[in-house]
Amino acid sequence: MIAACARGPHPSPERAIDLFAEMTADNGLAPTAPAYNALIRACARRGTQEYYFEALRFMRQMLDENVDPSRQTFHAVLEGARRHGDLPRARWMLVKMVGVGGEAAPDASSLGLVFQTYAAYKPPDAQGRSAKRTSKPGPATVVASEPSEDAATPQSTATSFADPTAEPRSETQKLVDLLGESSLFYPGPLPQTTAEVLLEAHNLMTQCVPSSLLDPSGTSAPQGTIFPSVTPTTFLLNSYLSVLAAHAPFDASLAFWSTAFDSLDVPRNRFSFELIMRRCETAKNRQVATEAARVVFAAWKAWDVAEPTETVVELDDGEGGADDELAGAAAHKSGRNISLMWAHMIRILSRCVALTACPRATADFSIVRSFADAEALALFQTFITQYPPTALVTQAEYAREAVKLLPTLPSPMRLASALYPETHAGAADRPPYLLFDQVRLLHMRLAEVDNARGVATVKGICKAYEGALAKAREIEEGVSKNQKKRDQRWMEEQERLG
């Protein structure tokens, strides 16, 4: 029952805490590790800081009662850490997992959650991003930069792992040498710039993949043996890619996406493509990003996987995020994935600006700007041709007819309520569609170049999808729009009467 409260897109930590109290205080049952794991995960997955601290409190209670934590326990807390960018606790958890060892030793999923925490972490020095980024591609420029004196790094990584005369150290001490002594304490000194964040994440990644893959120049530390049982997975590479996308230059993200998966023989999934397309959309060099996006988009259109490559059901939250990826749901294209990829490509083309020579201009004004708005509009028109709005209504009608074939219960039962979203089953994956907010940039670009016909086309397509989506929801809920309005007016009238 407690584990059920942690699943689905709407976890219910309140109910999980009540069940735990009923089990322990009311019935006198000793809590077990699985019960604590489910409780901690329900609190950590809620997303609010209040319940994240509740998860930490229950973990402390678990340790005080001498209940041995498992890998799932640490994963539950790491989920909360990545949601809040709590890098100090994530590093502390990783050190503890290595120290406990055995069944609690970190695996690829553990490191993936830690890397996602690095991606969500915001260093105090906001100027570090622009100061440390250069135009040179690859992580080599990141590794060459030195951390500031404020960061707790007692000795360089190269010295720590490359010195053959150094005395053997435990795996925990090696990890402390890698992350710094601050990883043993909370809060401890943290990376102050994006360069320091990248350096720390890079050195950690070299313990999982060959260092030559991350640093072609060969100046980084050799691959260590802190995580000998960790083999690269799609989730691990995607998580490190998210670190590069958040803190590194665009060239570094693109280089890693282009080479790491193929070199390690690890298949890409839909999150791999979504991450790099999102990074293309935010790149400063729009021309380079547009050309890279074209390549990625073409590779995505040719990509497909027959079977899921990873199955960690206990981490599935149905939100289409990291948990969904770990559960193997990212191995197939979905309606959401198709919509996101096309929307990214349309926006990238809409923001693309090329400088071209104007033969009729004077010498002082010989350069003019040209846009890819026509290509973006053509792509949008291709999307509605391949994925018509009527598919949304057709799928909803098919699902309704399928429900009618189920046996009728002897008495009506209402197991779900709109007041409690957690009682609703997750919405089925819809056919692809695009709404106005997703193509607003294209609309603005067409208006800027006075393309009235293009503006009308964008509005018409978006209205078609909005109408089909509203109709599909009416069919799924079994309530018409007029009935909803009548119910809303009745509720307002009841509230007014007191």
pLDDT of the residue at 372: 83
Asked whether residue 6 carries a pLDDT value surpassing 60, the answer given is: yes
Report DSSP state, residue 22: I
Asked whether residue 452 carries a pLDDT value surpassing 80, the answer given is: yes
Residue 417's SS3 state is: strand
Greater confidence (481 vs 463) lies with 463
Greater confidence (10 vs 460) lies with 460
- Most confident range, picked from 39-53, 299-313, 363-377, 383-397: 383-397
> Could you give the CA distance from residue 323 to residue 75 in angstroms, rounded to a whole number?
11
Residue 111: pLDDT band with limits 50, 70, 90: very high
Angle CA 207–250–343, to nearest 5: 115
Token pair belonging to 281:
């959309």
Question: What backbone phi and psi angles, to 5 degrees, belong to 354?
Answer: -115, 140
Q: What are the residue ranges of helices labelled H in 321-480? A: 322-326, 335-351, 373-386, 390-404, 440-448, 452-477
> Could you give the CA distance from residue 340 to residue 322 in angstroms, rounded to a whole number?
16
Asked whether residue 491 carries a pLDDT value surpassing 50, the answer given is: yes
Asked whether residue 157 carries a pLDDT value surpassing 90, the answer given is: no
Report DSSP state, residue 428: P
- What ranges make up the beta strands (E) of 73-132? none
DSSP track, 193-242: SHHHHHHHHHHHHTTTS-HHHH-TTS-SPPP-SSSTT----HHHHHHHHH
Percent of the chain with pLDDT over 70: 70
Residues 105-114, mean pLDDT to the nearest whole number:
92
> Could you give the CA distance from residue 259 to residue 254 in angstroms, rounded to a whole number?
9
Reference 91, options 209, 160, 164, 184; nearest CA is 184
Residues 155-161, mean pLDDT to the nearest whole number:
32
Asked whether residue 308 carries a pLDDT value surpassing 50, the answer given is: no
Q: What pTM does this model have? A: 0.78
Prior bond of 187 cis (ω within 30°): yes
Greater confidence (355 vs 198) lies with 198
> Could you give the CA distance from residue 136 to residue 134 in angstroms, rounded to a whole number?
5
Q: How many residues does the chain have?
A: 498
Reference 274, options 291, 299, 249, 252; nearest CA is 299
Token pair belonging to 241:
């890619």
pLDDT of the residue at 133: 47
Reference 301, options 268, 325, 326; nearest CA is 268
Greater confidence (234 vs 225) lies with 234
101 — alpha (psi -120 to 50), left (phi > 0) or beta?
left
pLDDT averaged over the chain? Answer: 77
Residue 380's SS3 state is: helix
Reference 188, options 154, 227, 163; nearest CA is 154
Percent of the chain with pLDDT over 90: 36
The structure tokens 């420029």 sit at 141
> Could you give the CA distance from residue 26 to residue 296 in angstroms, rounded to a whole number?
57
- What ranges make up the beta strands (E) of 4-67? none
Contact (CB, 8 A) for 84 and 181: no
Residues 6+ apart with CB under 8 A from 211: 218, 220, 221, 222, 223
Token pair belonging to 145:
């930069």
Asked whether residue 362 carries a pLDDT value surpassing 70, the answer given is: no
pLDDT of the residue at 3: 84
Residues 468-481, mean pLDDT to the nearest whole number:
83
